[in-house]
Amino acid sequence: MGFECAKNNAILSKLATNEEHGENSPYFDGWKAYDNDPFHPLKNPNGVIQMGLAENQLCFDLIEEWIKRNPKASICSNEGIKSFKAIANFQDYHGLPEFRRAIAKFMEKTRGGRVRFDPERVVMAGGATGANESIIFCLADPGDAFLVPSPYYPAFNRDLRWRTGVQLIPIHCESSNNFQITAKAVKEAYENAQKSNIKVKGLILTNPSNPLGTTLDKHTLKSLLNFTNQHNLHLVCDEIYAATVFDMPQFVSIAEILEDNEMSHCNKDLVHIVYSLSKDMGLPGFRIGIIYSFNDAVVSCARKMSSFGLVSTQTQHFLAAMLNDEKFVVNYLAESARRLANRHKHFTNGLEEVGITCLKNNAGLFCWMDLRKLLRDSTFDSEMSLWRVIINDVKLNVSPGSSFDCQEPGWFRVCFANMDDGTVDIALARIRRFVGVKKSGDESNAMEKKQQWKKNNLRLSFSKRMYDESVLSPLSSPIPHSPLVR
């Protein structure tokens, strides 16, 4: 029979057809650019250098050395195979007891031993991604809202909102006070929500901050905790960058604040920590997300939900062994902080040499670069134009502040811990050339230099969409709106 089949459209869910996963945001465009033309020191030295991914690749050697000394940590080695059966078969969502203990211990160590963590409160999740989503599922209903200081991690839009149906209300922070969270701003955001009849269920902090790379001081933490406590709001502290603090001041966890005598009036049932090993230890592939709640009902609920994203027992077993090795952990944390400090210094010095300043920061795997001076005008359009130039011409994938919901144009997050020293220098050289070209007041000189620079440097291999046409033909069409013009 040859009749035509009239196919009905398969009707999918609203989740599948809305854009709330946020993956069509510009934040991901840089990634795509990189994917099309990734830098490689030998194979593709003119490719795009990935500086948009907050990864910590500085200390793999330490872990590799440990692994060689501890073959039992793997269920696949001769020494460890006898554990294989039990481990492969274990699916209890409480997790391996030794894993929970190891995580609790590690969390203590990354907070300088100033607080204790209870292994019974350690709940697994599918990476920090899963942990953030699960905690929202536990605390809020669709339509409820969470306050979030901005600029903030772009994927919060997916992790906190997409399947949960919760809204995010930004608390805007400004460069005028170094992007600090002020009580005034928090109060304002909260009151505006109230006026719009939006039910605020909580506040989520990222401390240390992504993208700022700064830590919250005790005073601010206390003030925020007082605020949430007073209004009976949940306080979720995403502390996944805790061990990336490489400089003073020391990291202060919300767990410490809770133990402070001054804060004994606060309801612990409202406080929850999200943690992960992706940043502190550079193990994003292992998907180790942790929810640590001071609220028993939340621990219980999150644990049930953890079935949707448990950590592979192969990985639990491995980490339990490694993190229970206290000597290793202490040494690792100290060395990791040292290397991060060095890398940070090297990079920010390099930027300063060409007049680019960053927000002063003591943590994170990135810096918050101030490129306001390079904007044609103080608009997000200019920011986007500048960004395209940086990707296409300078060939660095950095992340524009607008993708973090930053309210001021001109800020960019640059990651520096996911590459080796050689690549850092190449990145700095490219930036130097880019700014150097811009700096020479003589336009034609700049154009000449640009030709030279282009000849030395970059072949453009992107789809036109990414490409700002005006920059391509500098001689024939001087562009009054070029982002390069001061």
Task: State the minimum distance, in angstroms, from the CB of residue 90 to another protein.
Answer: 5
Map the footprint of another protein across residues 434-453, applying CB under 8 A. none
Under the binding rule (CB under 8 A), the answer on residue 476 touching another protein is no
- 153 among known catalytic residues: yes
- 238 among known catalytic residues: yes
Of the candidate residues 13, 176, 196, 456, the single one contacting another protein (CB under 8 A) = 13
Task: State the minimum distance, in angstroms, from the CB of residue 238 to another protein.
Answer: 16
Name the token pair of 474: 């500098």
Of the candidate residues 109, 158, 346, 454, the single one contacting another protein (CB under 8 A) = 158
Q: Which is nearer to another protein, 160 or 363 (CB)?
A: 160
Contacts of 101 (CB under 8 A, 6+ apart): 119, 320, 324
Map the footprint of another protein across residues 247-276, applying CB under 8 A. 264-265, 267, 269-270
Per-position x/- string for 309-328, each x denoting binding to another protein as judged by CB under 8 A, each - no binding = xxxxxxx--x----------
- 279 among known catalytic residues: yes
Task: State the minimum distance, in angstroms, from the CB of residue 50 to another protein.
Answer: 11
Task: State the minimum distance, in angstroms, from the CB of residue 379 to another protein.
Answer: 31
Map the footprint of another protein across residues 290-309, applying CB under 8 A. 295, 297-298, 301, 304-305, 307-309
Q: With contacts defined by CB under 8 A, name the span among 15-23, 329-337, 402-410, 436-444 that binds another protein.
A: 15-23
Task: State the minimum distance, in angstroms, from the CB of residue 330 to another protein.
Answer: 21
Q: Which is nearer to another protein, 216 or 305 (CB)?
A: 305
Under the binding rule (CB under 8 A), the answer on residue 486 touching another protein is no
Of 205, 186, 132, 137, the closest CA to residue 166 belongs to 137
| Longest alpha-carbon distance in the chain | 82
Catalytic-labelled residue, pool 29, 159, 238, 280: 238
Map the footprint of another protein across residues 30-89, applying CB under 8 A. 55, 57, 60, 63-64, 67-68, 71, 73-74, 76-78, 81, 84-85, 87-89
Residue 158 CB neighbour total at 10 angstroms: 17
Q: Which is nearer to another protein, 294 or 434 (CB)?
A: 294
Of the candidate residues 50, 110, 129, 382, the single one contacting another protein (CB under 8 A) = 129
Map the footprint of another protein across residues 193-212, applying CB under 8 A. 201
Task: State the minimum distance, in angstroms, from the CB of residue 315 to another protein.
Answer: 4
Of 411, 413, 401, the closest CA to residue 373 belongs to 411
Q: Which is nearer to another protein, 223 or 314 (CB)?
A: 314
Active site residues: 153, 238, 240, 279
